[in-house]
Structure 1
């Protein structure tokens, strides 16, 4: 299995477990919502695929989409996660009172997803710079 498929399996498994736990226990709902907000980038990612497969990789739409992905990813998958970790730090006295499984989920799931988000963000930056360089 390729690294991409492993990322997908890990990403969706961790997310599904965290959402199910949050719904069943009532714990960590704010953090679950914060992580789910990051899915706002999905339409732009899907649009990127459509533009690519329809032969529009050299179009202005493709470039604009890349810039939108960069901005959306920065806000929803980088800065929001920084705020999430800051919020956990500020409210650690409440987080520590969670059931041990919920406590671990608050740290493990966002950390794993943040790592994946940063890896993808690096690829987004590299791709955007490559696309902009080609336009010159």
Structure 2
């Protein structure tokens, strides 16, 4: 199995990067975030210094979908630490700018969507059975 897939089910294991002011930079620790090279920034002045969707694909849709779900888990874990971050918008902007929407992106957004569904059920219904049905309703890619 390719090394880039190994973080699909792992916890965030990259250490938080320290900013100059000593605060930790949890975004930089995410496995799908990378700093852009000075050359990239010189070529395109509209780019932000960070690439918020820096991923590697396997070209196997089902495997990429699983990889994307794992990346979604990293995002969700991040949001528990910084719930007011605008990161999701930055990620989607970079997804769009790359012009490719495949298994990784579908898996990532599917995971986030399912967590939002669970949150909505938690907020509106004490029916745990409904939550379990939602959690098990997804069969994954065919």
More strand as a share of residues: 2
Q: TM-score, normalised by structure 1?
A: 0.35
Q: TM-score, normalised by structure 2?
A: 0.34
More helix as a share of residues: 1
